[in-house]
Amino acid sequence: MRLLIAALVLLLAGCSAPSPRPTPAPAPPGRRVVGYFTDWGIYGRDFQVKDLDTDGAATELTHLVYAFGKVDGGRCAPADAWADYQKPIPAEHSVDGVADPADAPLRGNFGQLRKLKAKHPGLRVIWSFGGWTGSAGFTDAARDPAAFAASCRTLVDDPRWSGVFDGIDLDWEYPNACGEQCDASGPDALPRLLGAVRSALGPRAVLSAAVPADVGKLDRADYRAAAGPVDWLGAMTYDYFGTGADGGDDSIDRHRTEPHSALTTYPGIPRTEATSSATVDKLLALGVPAGKVLLGIGFYGRGWTGVTASDPGGSASGPADGRYEKGVEDYEVLAERCPPTGVAGGTAIAHCGTQWWSYDTPGTIKTKMAYARSKALGGAFAWELSGDTPGSDLLTAVVDGLAGPS
């Protein structure tokens, strides 16, 4: 789909080939550029592993996180076997242009990830388990961390896709707190799980964990101890506000416009701690090393309809329409359909007609990356890559921003 759009653009431009995109500056040593690829993206979104190659993302990333595996009965397990390793990939969606034979021992996204790594040998790929709707099983896992860790290693080392994954990411939403489900495993549950996984995988494997942006939730688990065995903790510094259409946390107000991922406070913000800088400051105050904190960037916007005010805090009748869910839309769509009309708290806001959206742009991302540099953070991650433009404009801004002024 993306290749077809690109071809049409060239045709309308008189069929003249564009100048090659400049090679982005690499992230400074030790700074990580991490992006999530979702298994469900290959369906309605038609975002394939091949797009990571053709869009240039595979060149810019240091790590790719494949989301999600599930935690079933306290054990690591695939969540979508068809997408993961069974679906035959046709030639037009294949990284090397070769279709999967029907009897190929490895097909699906895992087969394509193997091809992507062969083409980009510096890229490390890790498998994430959990997520907002998939975190209930962590409570069982916390009862027997060693068994959980052993199951994860067995799964990652499965002979069918051995060598595809360089490690594991745990996305528990949320340990000893409430997300879609509530957990009461205790503040040491996450550190014990991560310690067991590190022991099972060994010191050379990549191990990471997603952590909440809500500073109250950060008090519920021992994130200083959790930082010990991991390469990084990814702070989910987005979704502070939204329309509530997706069943998110109870702080969301479906009838009041607010930026969902402000870097700093702005006039009228309902909760002064609902900013990326407040989350980072909290993690550092808890004793998490700055070099192990990654700043999260959403490659999407959240929006309302029935809005007359351009500034944040305006009344709304409800969530705006999105292609896949109410109140949410990808950056690549919003940049054209509802371009920014202002900035609030270091993120873009956009009032177009009766709709109001907030999202990050290349410009606001560079501001956030300058902040990450000022705090000596370990880098940044993107949730998730399908929301970017075909030219990876947002991801390029992450890389260039982390590199600093040219």
Please state the domain extents for the chain.
27-299+361-403
Q: Does domain 27-299+361-403 have CATH number 3.30.1330.80?
A: no
Among 60, 173, 258, 384, the one annotated catalytic: 173
CA-based R_g, the chain, Å = 21
Q: What are phi and psi of 60, to 5 degrees?
A: -85, -30
Predicted confidence (pLDDT) at residue 125 exceeds the cutoff of 50:
yes
> Residues 242-260: what's their mean pLDDT?
71
Predicted confidence (pLDDT) at residue 393 exceeds the cutoff of 90:
yes
Predicted confidence (pLDDT) at residue 34 exceeds the cutoff of 60:
yes
- Report the pLDDT value the prediction gives residue 16, as an integer from 0 to 100: 36
For residues 109 and 47, give the distance between their C-alpha atoms in angstroms, rounded to a whole number. Answer: 11
> Residues 383-392: what's their mean pLDDT?
97
- Of 16-30, 182-196, 203-217, 219-233, least confident by mean pLDDT is 16-30
Predicted confidence (pLDDT) at residue 35 exceeds the cutoff of 90:
yes
For residues 117 and 53, give the distance between their C-alpha atoms in angstroms, rounded to a whole number. Answer: 10
Q: What are phi and psi of 377, to 5 degrees?
A: -70, 165
Q: pLDDT for 163-218, tens place per residue?
A: 999 999 999 999 999 999 999 999 999 999 999 999 999 999 999 999 999 999 99
Predicted confidence (pLDDT) at residue 249 exceeds the cutoff of 70:
no
> Residues 241-252: what's their mean pLDDT?
62
Predicted confidence (pLDDT) at residue 9 exceeds the cutoff of 80:
no
- Report the pLDDT value the prediction gives residue 18, as an integer from 0 to 100: 36
Q: Could you tell me which residues come within 8 angstroms of residue 209 by beta carbon, excluding any fewer than 6 positions away?
A: 169, 170, 171, 172, 190, 194, 226, 230, 233, 234
Residue 242's pLDDT band (cuts 50, 70, 90): confident
Q: pLDDT for 68-100, tens place per residue?
A: 999 999 999 999 999 999 999 999 999 999 999
- Report the pLDDT value the prediction gives residue 22, as an integer from 0 to 100: 46
Question: Is residue 173 among the annotated active site residues?
Answer: yes
| Residue 134 C-beta-side C-alpha neighbours within 13 Å | 18
Q: pLDDT for 297-327, tens place per residue?
A: 999 999 999 999 999 999 999 999 999 999 9
Nearest to 240 by CA among 218, 211, 271: 271
Predicted confidence (pLDDT) at residue 24 exceeds the cutoff of 80:
no
* Average predicted confidence (pLDDT) for the chain: 92
